[in-house]
Structure 1
Amino acid sequence: MSISTSVLSDLLQSIPYLRPQLYFKASLTALSHAMEDQVLAATLEQPLVIASFQRERYYRQEAHRYQRLAQRSNQIYVLSAPETDFTNSSEYYEKIAFEFEDALSQEWHLVVIAENYATCLVCRESLGSITKNKQLPELTPSLDMDTSRRFEGIWTSERGVSLKAAELLLDRIVIYRPSLVNKVKQARLRFGIGETRSYSQTDQMAEFACDIDTDPFVQRLVTYLQASQYKLHKAYRSITAQARKERLVNSISTAIRRSLDPHEVLQIAAQELGQHLGASRCLIYRAQATDVQAIIEHEFLNPGVLSICGQTWDLDQNPLFQEVVKQSEGVCVADTLTDSRVTSSKALSLIAKKFAIRSWLIEPVLFQGRLLGIVELHYCSLPPHEWQPGELDLVEAIATQMGAALIQAEAYANLEELNQQLEALDRTRSNLIAITGHELRTPLSTIQVCLESLASEPDMPLELQQVMLSTALSDSERMRKLVQDFLTLSNLESGRVEWHPESLTLQECVDLALSRLRTRSAADKPPKIKTQISQNLPLVRADGDWLVEVLAKLIDNACKFTPQKGEISIKATRNGNQMVEVTVADTGRGIEPNRLEIVFDRFYQEEGALRRTTGGTGLGLAICRQIVNGWGGEIWAESTGKDQGSQFHFTIPVVENSQEKSRGQVVTEPSQSEVQSKRQKSGGRRKMP
């Protein structure tokens, strides 16, 4: 059985002058508790109390109060829509269960009728609040705390209105529980419920004027107002703290958007965070989980506080840092004089004493679990700083913003590097097209002309035929070397080269490199070449074929840019670092100081690809760099400027001395002169390509 008519609607229809008001859930709770307190404060009264709850869950929160009310009167009626174990019963008071479809499930009723006073609360939940309520999970314990639920209805102490509300509710009770007819009849007769009355406002005001103790009711409402004021004050403080946090986060975010320089972003963060939290000192520095030291890069200081900026912070001996790394969250020290983590560490105790740190906060700057840096807040004044949850949340939020800023700056730096690499690749592509076009097209054209002449002119003089063949062969060799250089550099850069290191005499390798110089015509005679290699120079360890290749290319490069009247020298010295330093110097064209690094780039040509006066592809020095790096050496160029000559240096590892401790003798590796002498006696060194 369910009744679709609303008690509030029936009441408003019966008493036309009533005007419903809007109430929030918190207000209705305070009013209903005040009305119940009025009943509990009475000593002799046995009033009629009728309470209707929308759901059993709301009733259960007030059940203990109605057990106390039952000790004051035997006329207590409680109505509710059952959800678990709420049923019709008469244990402490009368329980009346109604169905969910009943209009009572959307209303809230509390009626109190006594001999000398009466009051009632009859409300209906608004449609918008009902819709919101249905969206909440069923049986949610925190549902009663939803103070945003809105009701419309009547709250009054007019006796006539209260008697009418009691009459409407008692009619419902008799319908749901017919067995209570006699008990309800007694209540009607005792309090005059259902008698015909003329409900004018004047009569109601006269009935309202009665001598009752309203202090319990007033105390309850005052308590509610005080509690509301405290909650409002707390809410204002929370809003202020949140606004401050948002302003700080926004300032950091603005700095991030304004600049991609991580140093600028971190310095702004240190200043803003230190000022907003009133810290004596705020430090921000870059650090990773495996770092043993960090340099303090950014700092905020209050006047009179000792600066730490620029100093080195030991991390491996810092238990607080290790705890941050292990837990991936901040560490807070309320008082460094009593915290066991500080007092048990000699290093931390010295730091706290030296820099007057009394309260200490260390917050990690993380991005996807990766440690990027650390934020430290120091409070140096007395008493020790009391950390508030909002402050810790604020520092964590700023650290999160800084993590994003550092990753963004890092990504931008990587992007810049990639752009530079792409530009270099584009230049390489352009140079490759220009150089290969020139170096391939020119000899191909010459070869084609020579062959066509030989094929079309059978009567050509023998001497001219020999010139044509010699020219074609020379240009074909030029093309072969070009292709070979491409393949060599490709293999070296891709790591497909197999190294075969061995003990070598440098003088023999230089001699082989000189013998590989191409035969030059009289007009193309190379400049004078001198070698200065000590006979006592230790053996070097490298792949002999590749070492000869480096020497040959450096000598060939010197010949290209040195006039016939110039001079080329080849020197080798021990540089005291388990390496032999080889220098190929010339008195030729020289190199501008700003180009000393890029001369080793692929396809580099000082004069440009299409207007240079010397041949070549610009791959020789790039090949030399790859080879020298392959055996762990270094290569570099020196020059004082144009027409001042140039020097190319590279290093080769020295063969380590082997020692034998058998029979108390020490055997060392032979010198270059000894090895060379033995090889001459045994027929010389193996042939090198």
Structure 2
Amino acid sequence: MSISTSVLSDLLQFLPYLRPQLYFKASLTALSHAMEDQVLAATLEQPLVIASFQRERFYRQEAHRYQRLSERSNQIYVLSAPETDFTNSSEYYEKVAFEPDDALSQEWHLVVIGDNYATCLVCRESLGSIAKNKQNPEMIPSLDMDTARRFEGIWTSERGVSLKAAQLLLERIVVYRPDLAKKVEAARQRFGIGTPKIASDTEQISKYACDIDTDPFVQRLVTYLQASQYKLHKAYRSITAQARKEQLINSISTAIRRSLDPHEVLQIAAQELGQHLGSGRCLIYRAQATDAQAIIEHEFLNPGVSSVLGQTWQLEQNKLFQEIVKQGEGVCVSDTLEDPWVIDSPILSAIAKKFDIRSWLIEPVFYQGRLLGIVELHYCNPSPHECLPGELDLVKAIATQVGAALIQAEAYANLEELNQQLEALDRTRSNLIAITGHELRTPLSTIQVCLESLASEPDMPQDLQQVMLSTALADSERMRKLVQDFLTLSNLESGRVEWHPESLTLQECIDLALSRMRTRPTIEKPPEISTNIAENLPLVKADGDWLVEVIAKLVDNAFKFTPSHGDITISAIRNEKQMVEVTVADTGRGIEPNRLEIVFDRFYQEEGALRRSTGGTGLGLAICRQIVNGWGGEIWATSKGKDQGSQFHFTVPIVQSSPERGKGAGGRGIEGTRGTRRTRETRRTNDK
């Protein structure tokens, strides 16, 4: 008895003026709880509440709330697809079990209709989210996956829309539970569902609208905003700590870059590292894997610690050194009085006793797999020093810099390339601090002003309250997107993304990306967008969500740098490499030829981080590059120069012809096993 029609589609068909928007799971949870809190705050009227959950596991998380709601009204209906023990019943409220293949299993609805107010939330989950959810049908999704699920639908307080949504859902309820026909009819008669209402009803509703207690609704949204601020502050603190670490590495790197003299370079490195880590003694000396001994040439000392400068270190009988050569990793000895490596070696025991070494950290200096030298940290305190993971990582980073500096000093012909790498690190660090500081501080200030105004001005007009809430929500979403971009790029670069390749029509992905752009509020008139897709273009094989993400980010990038009277064109052809080549071209600002490569770098901003005319973090194109590389494609940019427009190209593999292709609606469906992430990075630079 399953029904294949969609409530959202029926609602949009009856009310064509409605424009669906994109929502994430976290947003829908906030809105649903706010609507339910409004019912719980009511004391007199008994509203009609209809809640449709996709699956029983989602209903179980909210079952306790609906028991409380049933104390406020006897017109509570809960629908869900059963998975374990969800069945038709009327114990606390009316439970309606629908078939798992019913269209409701892909939708999420909440309709609340009272005498003086009405609210409805009617949404349908995106196809990409449904595909990922089906990978583990018996398990509750993880927090990150669950909150990232995307829905398309309507949320409104317009009474006419709410009554129509209630009518569609009540019709479904009667189909699955004919025994509720009389009770449903009573609800229809009371609230005028499905029957024409007199014209004065709207005036009556608006007259009483000012008496509705909206405080629970506001409090719920404020709570979610505060939680969002906390998460963003936590992320900002983590970013700041990472920036401090990079600043230390950068300070040493800068000191190293000032000279090509290897002796000066190593002395500076030993001095900086010893000071920042608080060791009693820091040594850096040259040594290769086959050396029998090494002379200590560079040293940092704390007051009261004896010097070992000029001493000869025996390496052939040094078990710690031989272990480093064998394993290619550093060694940390927390206590030389108890460590078996030191106790069992007469040479190491003599060194530790003679030079008062209680804790010993030895890190090799490698360059391209070749051992160049050793960094040693001696802690000469009476008590042992426990090396923290952060200290070990820092020593590894400094050892890496020392290795680069030695090669730089020995082969100064490569100085320019090495300096460019270090300058890129400086630019990344500076842009990270400047961009995130601006992008977080500005919306946080706005949210704080809005919330303080709402808290300190209880008599504020309702329309102004709505403006404050809308502003705070918009800036909260802006900060959420910033953090989401950081997390997305981090997951892509670390290989934690699972790819789900599907057979897709490119036109459908372009339409989804453009629909996302159209739902965004905009102040100025956007540029004209046109598409030019080659006829008989084959199906492409890629993860649908990520393909839409790439197109949307490239179009969004074109929006930023194209005036309202300009044009944006999306085209696609099948190239000579048997790949579909997609191009997003604009008539905007253009790119200088020497910057066509670095525009895909993290935190790159064309105008500089502190004098930008457009918002953003500079992560969008970096994310696009990681996604395209993930499915084995290429991405590159072309431009004739400033103010001559730019073109961003990327390639997508086509679906290899097979007897199975074409099954299902439009030949779409996941083919083969789960895709593997490719680590090969390719980049195309030629001007087309």
TM-score, normalised relative to structure 2: 0.43
Q: Bigger relative contact order, structure 1 or 2, given CA contacts below 8 A and separation 6+?
A: 2
Q: In terms of Rg, which structure is larger?
A: 1
TM-score, normalised relative to structure 1: 0.43
